[in-house]
Structure 1
Amino acid sequence: MTDGTGKDVATTEEITKRRDEVVARVRSHAGQIARELALLQGGDYGQEAIETANATWTVKYEAGDIQYLRFDPNSGEETYVISTKQPPEPDALERAMDDYGAFIDAYNEYVASFDDVLVGVPDEFPAIESAADLVAERDRIVRQIHDVATEMAGQLQRYDGEYGTYSTTISGTRWELKWDGSEVSYLRVGGSDGTYLLSQYGPPSASELRRLAPDVEPFVESFNAEIADLEADLDRVSLRKDE
């Protein structure tokens, strides 16, 4: 190439072409290391530093793909052999490649160091106890509670409207039944942050049911007593003007 002075100007085409070829081969080769590290470390992203006698090489990966390969010599400036930005300068790349073989050897030794890690780890474990009987018993008790609460909902609908809530205190704890028509919306124990014995989200845990089930009977008795009191009050109401 000739400029305006008639002298030839050196081009970098061959140098950069050669540099890009080396970087491409390293990206492919070190990409295998990134994938293996992702498998070994059990994560979608991470990084690992591998040391040689002359430098520290850092591999960063994400989703199994290499993000960068950094060469940090014991003396001198670091070089990103692979990165998401610009490629390295040819001189820096050459220096890094002089140590690349040692990096691969160190990486292989690193992986080999895990060979005996899982030796002796048990691969047989105790049988798991089935929860089928426990769940069946829980569901049976919940169905009984649901049947009683549904009957309460029907009575509440008759005398207190199409929907609403009935609440009382049992053993110092608030019990609340919400009904909609003749159906139970929920039966909750312990306020807004309490336990739902009945709800649209599923049954309570067996331990919570065991704790609260003994108070279902007093809850129903409290409801019956309140109904009886209301009936007695209504019996005393008279429409006769002379009374």
Structure 2
Amino acid sequence: MTAGLDADVVGADAAADRRDEVVAEVTDHAGRIARELARIQGGDYGQRAFDTDRGTWTLKYEGGDVQYLRFEGRGADTYVVSTQQPPEPEDLAAAMTDYDAFVESFNDYVRSLDGVLDDAADDLPAIESVDSVVEARERILSRMREACDQMAQQLNRVEGNDYGTFSARVGSSRWELKWEEGRASYLRVGGEGGVYLLSQYQPPAPKDLRAHADDFSGFVDAFNEHVSEISDSLDTVEL
């Protein structure tokens, strides 16, 4: 037999088993810290670092479970708890000598928050209601919608199409009414990227509506002129 091949090999099972026991205990214990951190920070996931005299411990958690617990000390990083792989027994042993200091650092952090909200005002100021603004907007838009639907019906009859657009310039702004099957689809001021006074998505901001509401009558006048021109041209046709 080749020299040395009959020498006994010391098994690593005992060290590995003890390592796994320690990691399991730390995972359970640090999990309690993770849940307390989640409560303090107000989220299901996050991380926080805690300094000790010998290094820095970083705890990352998600859904109440520890994602990792890392110890950075004297130039070496040890993942005491990790979803990837367990630490080397020697590294774990070295890190665990500082574990109590990590827990105390966490406890100091929690104590520092005691009473921090005692002077926070709980008599909060009243909030103004937007009811009157919304009601006024809905009243104005309802009248605009009614008028635009009437225009859409007339355009549908005259043009014989199920959909189309009518546009006119009022002052310096271009107004456009899109209609479909005798009803207004939208009323837009300012062309592409302009303000939609009527649409199927959402109402305009009160300030935008106020800026253009007074010019709506000018748009109606432009429509009436358009209809009048069409009527005049039809009247001249003889059969």
TM exceeding 0.5: yes
**Which residue does the alignment assign to 1:151?**
150
Instruction: Give a deviation string over 1:56-115, Cα, whole Å, max 9, x none.
Output: 111122333211111222x35222111122212222211211111111111100121122
Structure 2 CA distance for aligned equivalents of residues 70 and 24 of structure 1 = 15
Matched, 1:17 2:53: no
Instruction: Give a deviation string over 1:207-233, Cα, whole Å, max 9, x none.
Output: 222111101111001111122122223
Alpha-carbon distance change, 96 to 144 in structure 1, aligned in 2, over 3 angstroms: same
Structure 1 CA distance for aligned equivalents of residues 184 and 85 of structure 2 = 67
The equivalences for 1:118-157 within 5 A come to 118-157=117-156
Residue aligned with 2:76, SS: coil
**Which residue does the alignment assign to 2:199?**
199
The equivalences for 1:52-67 within 5 A come to 52-67=52-67
Residue aligned with 2:215, SS: helix
Structure 2 CA distance for aligned equivalents of residues 209 and 191 of structure 1 = 16
Structure 2 CA distance for aligned equivalents of residues 202 and 79 of structure 1 = 55
Structure 2 CA distance for aligned equivalents of residues 190 and 72 of structure 1 = 60
Matched, 1:95 2:76: no
Instruction: Give a deviation string over 1:104-132, Cα, whole Å, max 9, x none.
Output: 11110012112233231112212222222
Moved more, 230-239 or 143-152: 230-239
CA root-mean-square deviation:
1.9
Residue aligned with 2:204, SS: coil
Moved over 6 A (4+): none
Alpha-carbon distance change, 154 to 77 in structure 1, aligned in 2, over 3 angstroms: closer
Moved more, 200-209 or 144-153: 200-209
For residue 8 of structure 1, report the CA deviation from its aligned partner.
4.2
Name the count of aligned residue pairs: 235
Structure 2 length normalisation: TM-score? 0.90
Give the AA of the match of 2:25.
R
Instruction: Give a deviation string over 1:154-176, Cα, whole Å, max 9, x none.
Output: 11112112221100011211111
Identity %: 51
Unaligned 5+ segments in structure 2 are none
Give the AA of the match of 2:125.
P
Structure 1 length normalisation: TM-score? 0.89
Give the AA of the match of 1:121.
A
Structure 1 CA distance for aligned equivalents of residues 75 and 173 of structure 2 = 72
The equivalences for 1:1-243 within 5 A come to 5=6, 8-73=8-73, 75=74, 77-162=76-161, 163-239=163-239
Moved more, 210-219 or 230-239: 230-239
Give the AA of the match of 1:140.
R
Structure 2 CA distance for aligned equivalents of residues 158 and 218 of structure 1 = 23
Unaligned 5+ segments in structure 1 are none
Residue aligned with 1:54, SS: coil
Residue aligned with 2:40, SS: helix
